[in-house]
Amino acid sequence: MVCGLVCTLSAVGCRQDDTDFLQTEPRPTVVVITIEGPYNADFDQPGDWLVGRGEHSHGVVKDGRYVLSITEPEFLAWTHQQRAFGDGIYQVDTRLLSGPEASAFGLLLLGTSNLSQFYYCLITGDGRYDIGYCEDGCRAQESLVGGFTLAYPILPGNNTNSLRIDLFSGQMTVYINGTPVSQLSGLEYEPGLVGFIGESSPYGGFQVAFDNLLVSNQDGQ
């Protein structure tokens, strides 16, 4: 991921070059700690999810899905809702609607109130995944699996993929379409925001849809 600055564009967060930085400072998000689950978002309505249009990205709830669009190459954008979650099971269905198969998209979790720090799990339309950690609005970013890695369970192209992250006691297990692809231990975190994230490739922008987000204490609960 290229380095840049974080900003708030209407409602969708983004990272970009210094020359395209908004003059206004990002406003912190009000966080409501959710202790009891489950939390489910089927996107029949926007609810408390951020929607809006920025210069290079926009997010909208349409046809029962959250659709995130990025219009520029090599650009990172994210959106989120207003609650914080810690240990639990995070699940979402996602599909690349248009754009290069090298486009990356997935879940953001354990984000601080202003999204300056968070973990992420990304997949691409050409069958790779990455798990990492962003600090300082992604000015500093670290992959925890050595960068994008091929994962055969990913359905390529414009197919729907199911992403699941189990997070308990500092251990993260990532499943794609029901198959475990990675397990990380010794993570340090506090409850934080959950959202969606996308990064465009050098080949251009893209559009991706998210649906059926579920955060639960354990399977279905």
Residue ranges of domains in the chain, CATH in brackets? 5-160+188-216 (2.60.120)
pLDDT confidence band for 73 (50 / 70 / 90): very high
Pairing relationship of beta strands 32-33 and 76-85 according to DSSP bridges: parallel
Residues 195-204 have a mean pLDDT of 96
- Cα 198 to chain centroid distance, Å, stands at 6
Residues 177-197 have a mean pLDDT of 96
Rounded Cα–Cα distance for residues 199 and 73 (Å) = 8
pTM: 0.85
